[in-house]
A and B are shown apart, each in its own frame.
Chain A
Amino acid sequence: MANNRCSVLVCQGTGCVSGGSEHIYNALKDELESSGHDEGISVKRTGCHGFCQQGPMIVVEPRGVFYTKVKTDDVPDIIKSVLPGGKSLDRLFYRDPVSEKAVTHYHDIPFYIKQERTILKYCGYIDPEEINDYTEIGGYAALRKAITWMTPEGVITEVKNSGIRGLGGAGFPAGRKWESCRNAPGDVKYVVCNADEGDPGAFQDRSVMEGNPHSVIEGMIIAAYAIGADKGFIYVRAEYPLAVNRLKTAIEQARQEGLLGDNILDSDFSFDMEIFQGAGAFVCGESTALVRSIEGKRGMPKAMPRPRTTEEGLWNKPTLLNNVKTFANIPLIITNGAGWFARRGTEKSKGTAVFSLTGKVVNCGLIEVPMGATLRKIIYDIGGGIPGGKSLKAVQTGGPSGGCLPAEMIDIPVDFDSLAEAGSIMGSGGLVVMDEGTCMVDVARYFLDFNRRESCGQCIPCRLGTRQMFEILDDITKGKGRPGDIDLLDRLSKSIKRSSICGLGKTAPNPVITTLRYFRDEYDAHIRDMRCPAGVCSMK
């Protein structure tokens, strides 16, 4: 980048590509070349900036001029604007939805100012298909530091001291998991990255893989060094072809640079990894099901009692499974130290949380805030509030395993423990905003429909109970609710939770439990008065 006068960065995340950003990128390149003005101007592909809704997006560096909703027709004008004497294009600036004022620079948009982008920091700035872009921002320095200066035990101590908890949903302390995997007896060990991202309505892991794939790979290599593994897998959902391609390219480049393979960085540590594509089953995000799926079996969770995956995972060898974002944090922790990481967040949840902010909110997109930020800050300061002058009704976190919190609770801090206390879960990062036009019974029905379809069927209460709950909810939304329904839902919830062997069943009733707790009157209106207050259900 050094000898360039300017760079035109074109987002190539899944969202922007759907808006035609690939054509825009190609048109920019062609037009620049044929005009003979390409000296000093480079056109680069980047990953997601997180503001999908405004895509396709272009950022012109070094000044950070920010264009939104760009079309291929805008290309000639964009080129003129970056030539000497050119002026920025007013019509492509982002407009504040409230004041309608144009905002010219990336750094001045409220959506970004109020965030603390840490693992997302370079998503949207670097070319994810160029390993040099990653090393220029300090990439692979953490790996070098770990291998050259630190013992495996030292790495684990650093991870433990940082306080980082797994970002896949359950929030298990990562350092402790690493330590037990290191201490598990056996010569052969595996590192697996969980990129199944099953929560429908969440795309944060996809964006990290598409925007900064090397950060995940580097985190995995460091983990392998720490626990003593020589082989790794990234388990990516089938629906993410772009992420798969970016990771493939990144793995290949890392091999060429001697960062993967035998004798990494000329040490005696060897490690390599491959990608395994999931095949569309939510339950495969569960650790034992994921392991079976890689082994070529039906992805069903192992029955209880079962050994921990850290002791008996893939092919019955000790296996370390962490989420995409957990791994992406590791290079930062090693480079900057545990203390740096622990500075952010709350007492028991350190670091940042990444959310896919979607639903009835003005600014949809990918956000990153310190653990403990309030829902109010996320929805109003970053999200810009509720569109169309409507009022907030509820916030859903944790996807099909989580719950819906009412508008009155938006001042609670968002971290693992306070969300759990309120009856929801942190989950892996879906955050769906609901307004007065959303029916909470319909939402509960929706999630039970999802869980019923995804139940693997091993445990009868999970297989039949979720179906029965779904049918009751479906009846209620069709005006066929009966007086005893709520009691029955309550009883079914308890028995499914008690007798399911995996997290899917144990959490499947949660969307019903929380909506019953906080929105009981809506159920009553459906059952007693045959009325859907939000006007969503057909009632017939």
Chain B
Amino acid sequence: MEEEFVDRILASYKGERNELVPILQEVQENLGYLPEKAMIDIARFLGVPGSHVYSVASFYAQFRTLPLGKTRVAVCRGTACHIRGAPLILHEIEDAIHLKEGETSGDLEYTLETVACIGCCALAPCIKVNMDVAGDMTPEKAKELFKGNGNSNGGNRGE
């Protein structure tokens, strides 16, 4: 199924080198991450070495080579959020869902990440849960939001 996806995505490109970043973006958008096989297919399609694709993918913070949890929690670590208490929010969420920054739970329920700035600095501190932004966070609100969630079965993975 993954392969089909990748082939279908590649079919809409011309095969020029400068399409690499947009292709990686589209593949990740559909699969949630960049499987090794997909990167090899992309390399073949563009006629570049696999290592080139991997080096570009690893350069940009956006790309990931491991699958993501169903619920993606991103805590903003931008300046506005930082000075209004983002580190406290991050700790609270780490405790609530039993994950550290950059980790995905073993059951693929949650991924916890930090991002440079969500762009809602006036509502700092902010977090993003999948596509939704939640602003004016407090440790209490964060606790409430993830109450009773999180896995207990360990085996978490980092990126």
Residues of A participating in the B interface, judged by any CB pair closer than 8 Å: 14-15, 17-19, 51-53, 55, 197-203, 206, 238-241, 276-282, 293-300, 356-360, 364-366, 396, 399, 430, 432, 434, 438, 443, 446-447, 450, 456
Contacts of B121 in A (CB 8 A): 201-203, 356, 358, 364
Mark B103-131 against chain A: 1 for CB-CB distance below 8 A, else 0.
Answer: 00000000000011111111110100001
Contacts of B76 in A (CB 8 A): 200
The answer to whether B61 and A201 touch across the interface, beta carbons within 8 angstroms, is no
The answer to whether B116 and A200 touch across the interface, beta carbons within 8 angstroms, is yes
The answer to whether B17 and A295 touch across the interface, beta carbons within 8 angstroms, is yes
**Minimum distance in angstroms from A196 CB to a CB of chain B:** 11
A280 in contact with B135 given A358-B122, A432-B80 (CB within 8 Å): no
Sample (8) of A-B pairs whose CB atoms are under 8 Å apart: A18-B132, A52-B122, A52-B123, A200-B79, A201-B78, A203-B120, A296-B16, A356-B121
Q: Which of B18, B78, B133 contacts A14 (CB 8 A)?
A: B133
**Minimum distance in angstroms from B14 CB to a CB of chain A:** 12
Question: B71 contacts the other chain (Cβ, under 8 Å)?
Answer: no
The answer to whether B21 and A279 touch across the interface, beta carbons within 8 angstroms, is yes
Question: B63 contacts the other chain (Cβ, under 8 Å)?
Answer: yes
Contacts of A206 in B (CB 8 A): 119
The answer to whether A281 and B79 touch across the interface, beta carbons within 8 angstroms, is no
**Minimum distance in angstroms from A190 CB to a CB of chain B:** 12
The answer to whether A18 and B120 touch across the interface, beta carbons within 8 angstroms, is yes
The 9 closest A-B pairs by CB, nearest first: A201-B79, A200-B78, A18-B133, A280-B61, A279-B60, A52-B122, A364-B122, A358-B80, A200-B117
Contacts of A357 in B (CB 8 A): 122
Which chain B residue has the least Cβ–Cβ distance from A435? B83
**Minimum distance in angstroms from A414 CB to a CB of chain B:** 18
Q: How far is the CA of A438 from the CA of B82 in the complex (A)?
A: 10
The answer to whether B83 and A296 touch across the interface, beta carbons within 8 angstroms, is no
Which chain A residue has the least Cβ–Cβ distance from B18? A296
The answer to whether A296 and B84 touch across the interface, beta carbons within 8 angstroms, is no
Give the interface size class of chain B.
35 or more
Q: How far is the CA of A437 from the CA of B83 in the complex (A)?
A: 9
**Minimum distance in angstroms from B46 CB to a CB of chain A:** 8
Which chain B residue has the least Cβ–Cβ distance from A241? B131
Contacts of A430 in B (CB 8 A): 79
Mark B23-65 against chain A: 1 for CB-CB distance below 8 A, else 0.
Answer: 0110000000000000000000000000000011001111100
Residues of B participating in the A interface, judged by any CB pair closer than 8 Å: 16-22, 24-25, 55-56, 59-63, 76-84, 115-124, 126, 131-135
The answer to whether B17 and A296 touch across the interface, beta carbons within 8 angstroms, is yes
The answer to whether A239 and B59 touch across the interface, beta carbons within 8 angstroms, is no
Q: How far is the CA of A396 from the CA of B76 in the complex (A)?
A: 18
Which chain B residue has the least Cβ–Cβ distance from A274? B22
Contacts of B118 in A (CB 8 A): 14, 239
Q: Which of A52, A241, A297, A359 contacts B120 (CB 8 A)?
A: A52
- Given A15-B122, A203-B117, A434-B83, output 4 extra A-B contacts at Cβ < 8 Å: A203-B120, A240-B119, A281-B59, A293-B21
Q: How far is the CA of A216 from the CA of B18 in the complex (A)?
A: 24
The answer to whether B18 and A365 touch across the interface, beta carbons within 8 angstroms, is no
Q: How far is the CA of A18 from the CA of B117 in the complex (A)?
A: 15
Contacts of B134 in A (CB 8 A): 18
The answer to whether A14 and B116 touch across the interface, beta carbons within 8 angstroms, is no
A201 in contact with B80 given A239-B117, A356-B122, A364-B121 (CB within 8 Å): yes
Contacts of B117 in A (CB 8 A): 199-203, 239
Q: Which of B22, B77, B123 contacts A15 (CB 8 A)?
A: B123
Contacts of A438 in B (CB 8 A): 83
A279 in contact with B63 given A294-B18, A298-B56, A434-B83 (CB within 8 Å): yes
The answer to whether A14 and B119 touch across the interface, beta carbons within 8 angstroms, is yes
The answer to whether A281 and B120 touch across the interface, beta carbons within 8 angstroms, is no
Contacts of A18 in B (CB 8 A): 120, 123, 126, 132-135
Contacts of A201 in B (CB 8 A): 78-81, 117, 121
Q: How far is the CA of A293 from the CA of B82 in the complex (A)?
A: 29
**Minimum distance in angstroms from B149 CB to a CB of chain A:** 21
Q: How far is the CA of A295 from the CA of B52 in the complex (A)?
A: 13
Contacts of A365 in B (CB 8 A): 122
Contacts of A197 in B (CB 8 A): 119
The answer to whether B56 and A296 touch across the interface, beta carbons within 8 angstroms, is yes
Interface centre among B16, B84, B122 (most CB of A within 10 A): B122
Which chain B residue has the least Cβ–Cβ distance from A243? B119
The answer to whether B62 and A53 touch across the interface, beta carbons within 8 angstroms, is no
Contacts of B22 in A (CB 8 A): 276-277
**Minimum distance in angstroms from B54 CB to a CB of chain A:** 11
Contacts of A202 in B (CB 8 A): 117, 121
**Minimum distance in angstroms from B9 CB to a CB of chain A:** 15
Q: Which of A241, A294, A298, A360 contacts B59 (CB 8 A)?
A: A298
Which chain A residue has the least Cβ–Cβ distance from B61? A280
The answer to whether A53 and B79 touch across the interface, beta carbons within 8 angstroms, is no
Contacts of B131 in A (CB 8 A): 241
Q: Which of B55, B82, B122 contacts A53 (CB 8 A)?
A: B122
The answer to whether B62 and A279 touch across the interface, beta carbons within 8 angstroms, is yes
Q: How far is the CA of A356 from the CA of B118 in the complex (A)?
A: 13
Q: How far is the CA of A485 from the CA of B24 in the complex (A)?
A: 43
Which chain A residue has the least Cβ–Cβ distance from B121? A358
The answer to whether B123 and A280 touch across the interface, beta carbons within 8 angstroms, is no
Q: How far is the CA of A344 from the CA of B127 in the complex (A)?
A: 38
The answer to whether B79 and A432 touch across the interface, beta carbons within 8 angstroms, is yes
Interface centre among B17, B79, B81, B119 (most CB of A within 10 A): B119
Q: How far is the CA of A239 from the CA of B77 in the complex (A)?
A: 13
Q: How far is the CA of A238 from the CA of B29 in the complex (A)?
A: 12
Q: Which of B16, B78, B79, B116 contacts A280 (CB 8 A)?
A: B116
